[in-house]
A and B are shown apart, each in its own frame.
Chain A
Amino acid sequence: KQEVTQIPAALSVPEGENLVLNCSFTDSAIYNLQWFRQDPGKGLTSLLLIQSSQREQTSGRLNASLDKSSGRSTLYIAASQPGDSATYLCAVRPISGNTGKLIFGQGTTLQVKP
């Protein structure tokens, strides 16, 4: 059974710091991995999608890496800003069943202090 874990559960950093959020999954048989951002009381915004054949994806100050064989992904945020404060969720799309569903981690709640 696929399980996704995100560490740490919460993180508080001063503005300007570079930071790394971690995501691990137990079954490497995945199609892709997706990182989301969720603001309080809001929906999910897709940040990055990494296909299983890819090693990393970049969008602006965000860089996500994928090491499928070891079941790990990281989201790197450069030069953090108070506007980056949100909960970050990673989710994998398992190959098993080929249903397209996502399995989510519990999220990392990030606070960036001015």
Chain B
Amino acid sequence: DTAVSQTPKYLVTQMGNDKSIKCEQNLGHDTMYWYKQDSKKFLKIMFSYNNKELIINETVPNRFSPKSPDKAHLNLHINSLELGDSAVYFCASSQASSGSSYNEQFFGPGTRLTVL
């Protein structure tokens, strides 16, 4: 009955490789997000999708490419991994409501990416 799930939980890889992280939510939400938490524990938005449409791309390198096959899934593909990509990546979801507001945001357990 997990609300927002991510796979894998841990990912260790070499520089230059390409990897993907998957995210699924079963809350029926229409908006999904990817956040990055750096080594200083600071969380910052990367991408947001609403009903499979990209609505935020916060100056993330184009090596990062999100893909939303349907509104319950938002995957993150990273090309040519660099040392600086090492971080914890969190997926989240929320439901847009009337009045152009958004309700409570729920987070997945995170994926710890280590680039060697």
Contact = CB atoms under 8 A, between A and B. Distances in A.
A102 B110 contact: no
Nearest to B55: A99
A89 interface: yes
Contacts of A87: 41
Interface in A21-71: 31-32, 34, 36, 38, 41-46, 49, 51
Given A31-B101, A34-B104, A49-B103, A100 B94 contact: yes
B56 A46 contact: no
Contact of A32 (B48, B50, B101): B101
Interface in B1-58: 31, 33, 35, 40-45, 48, 50, 55-56, 58
A3 to B, nearest CB: 12
A80 B105 CA distance: 26
A101 interface: yes
Contacts, number: 68
Contacts of B100: 98
Interface residues of B, number: 30
Interface residues of A, number: 27
A43 B41 contact: no
B106 interface: yes
A100 B41 contact: no
B96 interface: yes
Nearest to A93: B102
B108 interface: yes
B48 A100 contact: yes
21 contacts: A38-B41, A42-B109, A42-B110, A43-B90, A44-B90, A44-B92, A46-B107, A51-B101, A93-B101, A93-B102, A97-B56, A100-B31, A100-B33, A100-B48, A100-B55, A100-B96, A100-B102, A101-B58, A102-B33, A102-B43, A107-B41
Interface of B: 31, 33, 35, 40-45, 48, 50, 55-56, 58, 90, 92, 94, 96, 100-110, 112
